[in-house]
């Protein structure tokens, strides 16, 4: 009996080995694959003209002025990347982030420019106050520096409406205020914007992996931190509860952020919820690969696909990643 079991195990092992013999065979039996259609490309829009300035902590990523949007749309169309996520760096900031919900704000103008350049490009906008407030928090503050939830939600609703009116097909609240998804959904449904979808940053953790983004978006808090409203990295059940709440409030797509340290959350969310699931391969994850590749410690043409396939294998339907362009180029070349 033991000898028969050993023969069976050996046959199985050899069968799997035979199916690894060539790239053609490996490709035919591959369980998970990537395509450019999986990616959403984040972009940082700034004031000014003819601005294309590389971000120091994120090699290969740029601050772009609105007049650069047509060039970006053409490149993304050529590469087959179907969607972008816009972050705005306004010309002025104040305590209530008023430039964030200005009808002629930086993101609103960028949305219009992108839709004019390529009506088929899917434009998603980040909805949050942190890029627009002079204190850098995701909501308005009381006199003691505490974030006020309900007044913040009122302003986030205004911001989401202004983005949708400018032409964004999806708005993406990232602030982690309680009840903001339901409030935004109700406001959209009360207007002609009911077809606008919501991609909720449903499980957004208070992560150290956001460091390069805060430089790129000039959004680091002037005092304190965001642990009072973003998720504790130790809590998985709480993350699933937050996702469930956002779905109940009307989110069309839910997201886990960051991706790599939270692959277990992505997997658990995929197993529990049928909603489309996104994962954000954040700035710190991107910057670590770029820094290691620049020093010759990693082969980025191998490690980037391995990284992104891990996120998709964990259960993500959509991947927000700064690697979108280069990965799309490599996929086309194969």
Active site residue 204: yes
Cβ neighbours of residue 198 closer than 8 Å, sequence gap 6 or more? 170, 171, 172, 173, 181, 184, 185, 188, 250, 251, 252, 253
325 is catalytic: no
Q: Would you call the peptide bond into 317 cis, given omega within 30 degrees of 0 as the criterion?
A: no
**pLDDT tens for residues 254-308?**
999 999 999 999 999 999 999 999 999 999 999 999 999 999 999 999 999 999 9
Catalytic residue among 204, 290, 312, 325: 204
Annotated domain spans of the chain: 35-333
How close are the terminal C-alpha atoms of the chain, in Å? Answer: 47
pLDDT tens for the chain, 334 residues: list them.
Answer: 556 666 677 777 788 788 888 888 888 888 899 999 999 999 999 999 999 999 999 999 999 999 999 999 999 999 999 999 999 999 989 989 889 999 999 999 999 999 999 999 999 999 998 889 888 788 888 888 888 899 999 999 999 999 999 999 999 998 888 999 999 999 999 999 999 999 999 999 999 999 898 888 776 665 667 677 789 999 999 999 999 999 999 999 999 999 999 999 999 999 999 999 999 999 999 999 999 999 999 999 999 999 999 999 999 999 999 999 999 999 998 7
Q: Name the one residue in this structure whose structure tokens are 């709480």.
A: 238
Q: Kindly tell me the sign of the dihedral angle through the C-alpha atoms of 55, 328, 257, 149.
A: positive
CA distance 317 to 321: 13
Q: Tokens 């973003």 map to which residue?
A: 230
Q: CA–CA separation, 127 vs 261, rounded Å?
A: 24
Q: Which two tokens stand for residue 44?
A: 């940082």
Q: What is the pTM of this model?
A: 0.92
Evaluate whether the domain defined by 35-333 bears CATH number 3.40.50.720.
no
Q: Which two tokens stand for residue 238?
A: 């709480």
d(CA 206, CA 262) in angstroms, rounded, equals 12
Look at the alpha carbons of 102, 106, 108, 112 in this order and tell me if their dihedral is positive or negative: positive
Q: Of 93, 115, 257, 312, which one is the catalytic site residue?
A: 257
10 Å Cβ neighbour count for 326? Answer: 15
């Amino acid at each position: 009996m033991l000898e028969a079991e050993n023969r069976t195990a050996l046959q199985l092992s050899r069968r799997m080995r035979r199916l690894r013999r060539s790239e053609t065979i490996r490709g035919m039996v591959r369980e998970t694959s990537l395509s450019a259609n999986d990616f959403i490309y984040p972009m940082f829009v700034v004031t000014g003209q003819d601005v294309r300035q590389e971000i120091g902590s994120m090699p290969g990523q740029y601050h772009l002025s609105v007049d650069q949007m047509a060039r970006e749309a053409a490149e993304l169309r050529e590469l087959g990347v179907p969607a972008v996520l816009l972050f705005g760096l306004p010309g002025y900031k104040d305590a209530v982030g008023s430039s964030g919900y200005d009808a002629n704000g930086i993101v609103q103008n960028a949305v219009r420019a992108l839709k004019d350049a390529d009506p088929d490009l899917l434009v998603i906008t980040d909805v949050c106050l942190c890029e627009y407030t002079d204190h850098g928090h995701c909501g308005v503050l009381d006199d003691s520096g505490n974030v006020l939830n309900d007044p913040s939600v009122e302003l986030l609703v205004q911001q989401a409406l202004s983005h949708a009116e400018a032409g964004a097909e999806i708005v993406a609240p990232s602030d982690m205020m309680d009840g903001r998804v339901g409030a935004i959904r109700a406001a959209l449904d009360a207007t002609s914007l009911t077809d606008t979808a919501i991609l909720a940053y449903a499980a957004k953790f208070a992560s150290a992996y956001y460091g390069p983004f805060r430089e790129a978006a000039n959004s680091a808090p002037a005092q304190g931190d965001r642990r009072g409203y973003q998720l504790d990295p130790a809590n998985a059940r709480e993350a699933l509860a937050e996702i469930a709440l956002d779905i109940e409030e009307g989110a069309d797509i839910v997201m886990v952020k960051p991706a790599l340290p939270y692959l277990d959350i992505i997997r658990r969310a995929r197993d529990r919820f049928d909603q489309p699931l996104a994962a954000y391969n954040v700035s710190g994850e991107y910057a670590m690969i770029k820094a290691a590749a620049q020093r010759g410690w990693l082969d980025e043409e191998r490690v980037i696909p391995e990284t992104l396939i891990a996120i998709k294998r964990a259960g993500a339907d959509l991947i927000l990643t700064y690697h979108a362009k280069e990965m799309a180029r490599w996929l086309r070349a194969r």
